[in-house]
Each structure stands twice: as structure tokens, then as C-alpha cells.
Amino acid sequence: MAIIQFPQGFIWGTATAAYQIEGAVREGGRGPSIWDTFCRIPGKVKNGDNGDTACDSYHRYPEDIGLMKKLGIGACRFSIAWPRVIPDGDGEINPQGLKFYRDFVDGLLAAGIEPFCTLYHWDLPQALQDKGGWASRSTVDAFVRYAETVFKAFDGKIKYWITLNEPWCVSFLSNYLGVHAPGNRDLQLAADIAHNLLVAHGKTVRRFRELGVEGSIGIAPNVTWIEPYSTAPEDIAAADRERAWYVEWFMDPIFKGSYPEFMADWFRGKGATPKIEPGDMECVSEKIDFLGINYYTGNIVRHAPGGGLFDSEIVDAGHERTDIGWPVYPEGFNRVLQFIADRYGPVPIYITENGACYNDGPENGRVRDETRIEYLRKHLIQLNRAIASGVDVRGYFVWSLLDNFEWAEGYAMRFGLTHVDYRTLARTPKDSFYWYGSVAQNNRFEV
């Protein structure tokens, strides 16, 4: 038997996002977001689902904080909905929106749970989308103003800030692949949006420093690990492009102040070049205090002329898959963390998301999600290997506390440690809840 021990002071938490759990979309003065709009376009979200009610956490958050207490976690990653705080994005501030989050944060603090706040988890105010959305620099300025509003309202209470969740999803998934709101399919547009997001991030970090806000700030990109099919140079190059789309495209600007040249060349060949204004790259590379990493899956890729955006194809090597169809690739977690630490040097890392979709439901009041426990166990071992190799990982947030609105998959896909019955909104902790709770409380587990 081996003991997988985490460092002293390691932070254990759960993660959620506003639109996925809150519901109450027309309450408390909230304005509409691009997801309210997107959900109403037929065919965009499975079963025509929307976030109108979700887990109703807007009303039931005390119960959710109770679940976190029961888990025994030390931290909670949540997001603030921009359209609750500034309903039209850049106009009047809505005190009711701020009050909701103040009550929530006070509840966390009273429970001894450290709040980690994400400023943007995809719910752009629709009024800003109507004016060009993230393709417009005015949205960047509006974001900085919104961030400043929230920094001032929570200074001293929230000590960990995350500017953006998964800029790859906000740009390429939403504006090139068309899968998420607003659903565009345009590579140039997506490249411009990716760039504007990085500028919004950098400007926000700069503002955070200027204001002297107490605490630390970072960003949470989603990464994957892409293993080349063979050692053939063209397979390696294809895998490099696929990985760099998630990792280097976003992290090189942040840590090195420039885009990776081989990728910029590749995109140029596809007719897409981000519009960079003077001073942008200095701003984007404003020093961050920590890096958030979201990791779920990995793949094996080989060169395939004409295949997709990168002349590549995924080879299904028979890895198990979660219920959403993503390969279970725990080794990639260790590899990508080591890759990031090697490439960018020492930076404190928090795993801001990791978790699995398994759609088990209650049987006689119990949810036996052994597969989720296995997934978490395998990933935590790989995380521990990365830490043992010197990667400075300070904490881990499982996605997610609750089953919730899984974006384009609606309510069909469940990532929670807690089952939610969407008819009654009853919460039932799954077996994985108790397993994860014991890991969090002991800071270790046995294998």
C-alpha cells in the first residue's frame, strides 16, 4: 500500500460557475447574458435546456455552503455574474447584484471557506454582445470597469481572483467552432477575440495592482495533453500545434509577451492574424501571482494532411471515456503540468478545475459513482507526481460541487459530487462526495 500525501497547507476545494448553478435569471435586477440568448436558439443546447432555474443556487446557496462544510474543504471557487453586477455591461451598477455575492461570500467566510472568485465564466451581458462583444475593445474597457467595481466591493474579503475562465473556450470554441455562445464560426474573429481577452486580462491585472487590492490574481486557461502518435517529426509537429492551441497560444503572451511564432505562422496560413495594438503585449504579460489550470482529458494525435485546422487527426487508442465521451488520460495531467513548469518557470499553480462526467443517479437514496472516484484517484496520483517533481501546485478544485447546467449539453451531463434532481432540486451527495471529503480532510489517501 502506498500513501499519496499532499504538501502541508495544500488547498482543497470545489468549483462552480454562476450561470451553471444560480438560476433566477430575471431576479435581483440581473440583465440578460449571451447564454440566455443562445439557449433560445433552437438546436444549440441539448433538449432545449437553459439556465433559468439551474440548481436554483441563487436561493439555495446556504444549503450549498452546508454541503461544502460537510465536505470539509478549505476553499470554494465560484464566479460572479457580470450581468448581475452591471446588467447592461457598462452602465449602472446594480446594488442588489453585489449584495447577493456579499451574502454568499460572508456565508463562505463564516464557514471558514476561502473564496476564489472568477470574474468571467462566460456570461457576457447581452447588451455588450449587441455592440460587438469581445471583438470590440469597448468590451475590454467595460470588463476592466466591472472588475474594478467588484475589487472595490470585496477588498479584504476575497483574496484570490481569477480574471477569465478558459479563454480558449470563449474565443475558439464559441467563435470558431460555434459550439458555445454566441456561436460564430470565423477563425479571424476567434483570433481577435482570443487577443482581446488576453488584453482584458492584462489590463485587469494592472488595475488590480494600481488599486492596491489585497490578495493575488491569476487566470484559468483550459489545457489538454496531446501525445504524438509516433516519433516521426511530422507527428510531433502536428501534436505540437494541437497542444499549443490550448497552452502556448494563451500562455506565451502571458509569460513571454509574444505569441508562439510557429503557431502565428500557421494561423496566418489559414488567413487569421490577431490585431495587436501598440502596448498590448506589455499589458498582456503583466505579472500574475498564480496560474489556474483546468484539465480534463488528453489525446493521441498524428499528422494527417488536410485534417482539421492543424493537418492532424486524433487516434482513438482505446482509452476509457467518461459519459461525455472524453478520453480518461490521467498521465497527461502530470505531463502538461511539467511542460508548463519547464516552459514558463516557477509559478504557483492552482488546479482550478478537474473532474468527470458520469451520469449515475440515486438508487435507494444512494449514488454509487465509483467511476468518478476512480477518475479522481487517478488524476490526483498524477497531480501528486507533478508536485513530487517540483511543480509548485498549491491547491486543487474539483469540478463540480453540484451537477449543473453543462452548457451546450444542457442538464444531460453530470459532473457533480452532489446529484441534483432537476424536478425537485434536491441535492444528494454521491459516493464520490464522501471519498473526496476524506481526501480533503486528511490531505492524503491510500492506493
List of residues contacting ligand BGC (CB under 6 A):
17, 20, 165-166, 169, 222, 294, 353, 399, 406, 415
Smallest gap from Cβ 422 to ligand BGC, in A, equals 16
CB distance 383 to 349 below 8 Å: no
Q: How far apart are CA 433 and CA 447, in angstroms?
A: 18
The cell for 246 is: 490550448
Residues 361/431, Cβ–Cβ less than 8 Å: no
- Please report where in the chains the cell 499532499 appears, as a residue: 6
The CA distance from 402 to 420, in Å, is: 7
Say which of 166, 242, 248, 313 is annotated catalytic: 166
E strands present in 246-304: 290-303
Closer residue to ligand BGC in complex, CB, 176/399: 399
User: Please, which residue, 165 or 418, has the CB nearer to ligand BGC?
Assistant: 165
Alpha helix positions (H), 23-173: 34-39, 57-71, 82-85, 95-110, 126-129, 137-154, 167-168
> Which CB atom, from 17 or from 71, has the smaller least distance to ligand BGC?
17
Q: Which residues contact 299 (CB under 8 A, 6 or more apart)?
A: 224, 225, 226, 227, 242, 314, 327, 329
163 versus 222: smaller Cβ distance to ligand BGC: 222
Cell of 90: 457598462
Other beta carbons within 10 Å of 66? 14
CB of residue 380 to ligand BGC, shortest distance in Å: 18
- Active-site annotation holder among 22, 248, 313, 353: 353
Q: Which amino acid is at 407?
A: W
Q: In angstroms, what is the minimal distance from the CB of 248 to ligand BGC? A: 19
Number of Cβ atoms within 10 Å of the Cβ of 67: 19
Confirm whether 353 is a catalytic residue.
yes
Cell numbers 488536410 correspond to what residue? 306
Question: Least separation, in Å, of the C-beta of 244 and ligand BGC?
Answer: 19
Phi (first) and psi of residue 356, to 5 degrees: -140, 150
Told to judge if 277 belongs to the known catalytic residues of this protein, a careful annotator would answer: no
Q: Is the peptide bond between 83 and the residue preceding it cis, with omega within 30 degrees of 0?
A: no
Q: How far is the CB of 383 from ligand BGC (least distance, A)?
A: 17
User: Smaller CB distance to ligand BGC: residue 267 or 399?
Assistant: 399
Instruction: Tell me the closest approach of the beta carbon of residue 353 to ligand BGC, in angstroms.
Output: 6
Query: In the complex with ligand BGC, which residue's Cβ is closer, 175 or 294?
Result: 294
The catalytic residues are 166, 353
